[in-house]
Amino acid sequence: MLKIGVLVSGRGSNLQAIIDSIEAGKVKASIEIVISDNPKAYAIERCKKHNIPYEVVERKNFKSKREFEEKIASILKERGVELVVLAGFMRILSENFLKHFPNKVINIHPSLIPAFQGLNAQKQALEFGVKFSGCTVHIVDESVDGGPVIVQAVVPVLPEDTEETLSERILRWEHKILPQTVQWFAEDRIRIKGRKVIVEGARYGELPVNPALEIFK
Ligand code: GRF
């Protein structure tokens, strides 16, 4: 069973998607710890409801970013975490943190990266006028939302879309591609060569998700 740690800052709907797919037996992983940098994150309520251990680690309680990150890394290590999942974690992790978990930190971002990295990706997409957007699960490196891509899902952008409607359309796919990626790690099928990530044995070439989902229809 793959041991994962999930880092959150807010609502936690992606955390919930992982919890649900583990409880449904689709993802063979166990959430060893959820760490929130925000004591008010709704994600914490989800942990309580599902008996998942959590800790709040607030940046303001540390003198430096380095100490803050070392604290998070030490909690994850104590719990034996093998894969770190950023699910709406609103902080940029430095190389110091990443070296503790080389190629084992993943993030979900609500755009087709490299388009619209950083905050408010859905708003950026609407303002730019693109006709497709989507979401990406990628390996985290020192760039902001720019690491090697594992999987992407594409959605159309409609003339009447607002930030809310586009976010909702994208979110439905976030909730599938993130648990799916955790399962690929659990199955040890992720191969990384520089910027190129291949999921061994996956089906490539279909829409709207490439490579294709396996644990969801
Ligand atoms: C999602 O849109 C995710 O892509 C982005 O932050 C948001 C988090 O939502 N990184 P939630 O907290 O998982 O509901």
Q: What is the mean pLDDT of the segment spanning 197-214?
A: 98
Q: What is the pLDDT of residues 49-103, one digit of tens each?
A: 999 999 999 999 999 999 999 999 999 999 999 999 999 999 999 999 999 999 9
Which residues form ligand 1's pocket by a CB distance below 6 Å? 10-14, 87-88, 108-110, 174
User: Pairing mode, if any, of strands 2-8 and 83-86?
Assistant: parallel
Please say if 109 is a catalytic residue: yes
198 beta partners:
191
Residue from 167, 174, 175, 176 whose mutation best tests the ligand 1 pocket (most atoms within 8 A of CB)? 174
